[in-house]
């Protein structure tokens, strides 16, 4: 696989994790640079690149606690006063998207890797650098948080 195709794939994966377009580009480029400097023989390996990208993203999220607080405020702002906003399909999508973005970084990564990428628990654990049991627990907690968040906003999960 050529580098430009790999960059496109990585950019899309970074967007699935919740990165903005400029951030997704930065993550994709940093992932390629890291692969070329540390394991050039794996430059065409999508799985290795995904694992590297996910770990880079998690590292960034750990250092961006303020960003997580800001995202939670955005999710909370979808509620008008004490009542719920009328839930149309567009509003429902925004609420679900914001609820997912308000998850802690590890839980969000596990949720995306499982539900979007379709990875098994062993692959998820390897990608984010934890045990399989920890990956299962993170996914469970992410689902519990999402269910609670969506139920509070009047959306049946």
User: What confidence tens digit (pLDDT) does each residue in 63-94 have?
Assistant: 766 555 655 555 555 443 434 444 556 777 78
Res 67: pLDDT? 55
Q: Where are the alpha helices (DSSP H) in the chain?
A: 3-17, 21-38, 46-63, 65-76, 89-101, 105-111, 121-128, 132-152
Using the 3D structure, point to which of 16, 34, 63 is the last residue of a domain: 63
Q: Convert the pLDDT of each residue in 14-64 to its tens digit.
A: 998 888 899 999 999 999 999 999 999 998 899 999 999 999 988 888 776
In this structure, the answer to whether residues 45 and 57 fall within a common structural domain is: yes
The set of long-range contacts for 121-127, using a CB threshold of 8 Å and a minimum separation of 24, is 126/51, 127/50, 127/51, 127/54, 127/55
**For residue 21, what are the domain limits?**
1-63
Q: Report the alpha-carbon distance of residue 93 to residue 62 in Å, rounded.
A: 26
- Give residue 104's pLDDT band: very low, low, confident or very high (50, 70, 90): very high
Instruction: Please indicate, yes or no, whether residues 49 and 79 belong to a single structural domain of this protein.
Output: no
Its pTM stands at: 0.59
């Amino acid at each position: 696989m050529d580098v430009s195709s790999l960059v496109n794939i990585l950019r899309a994966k970074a967007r699935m994790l919740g990165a903005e377009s400029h951030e997704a580009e930065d993550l994709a480029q940093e992932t390629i640079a890291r692969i070329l400097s540390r394991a050039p023989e794996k430059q065409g390996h999508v799985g290795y690149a995904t694992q590297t990208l996910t770990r880079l993203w998690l590292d960034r999220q750990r250092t961006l606690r303020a960003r997580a607080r800001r995202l939670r405020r955005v999710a909370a702002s979808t509620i008008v006063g004490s009542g719920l906003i009328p839930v149309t399909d567009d509003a429902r999508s925004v609420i679900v998207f914001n609820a997912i973005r308000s998850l802690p970084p590890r839980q969000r990564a596990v949720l995306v890797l499982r539900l979007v990428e379709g990875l098994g628990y062993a692959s998820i654990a390897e990608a984010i650098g934890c045990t399989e049991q920890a990956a299962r627990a993170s996914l469970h907690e992410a689902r519990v948080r999402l269910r609670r968040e969506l139920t509070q906003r009047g959306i049946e999960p």
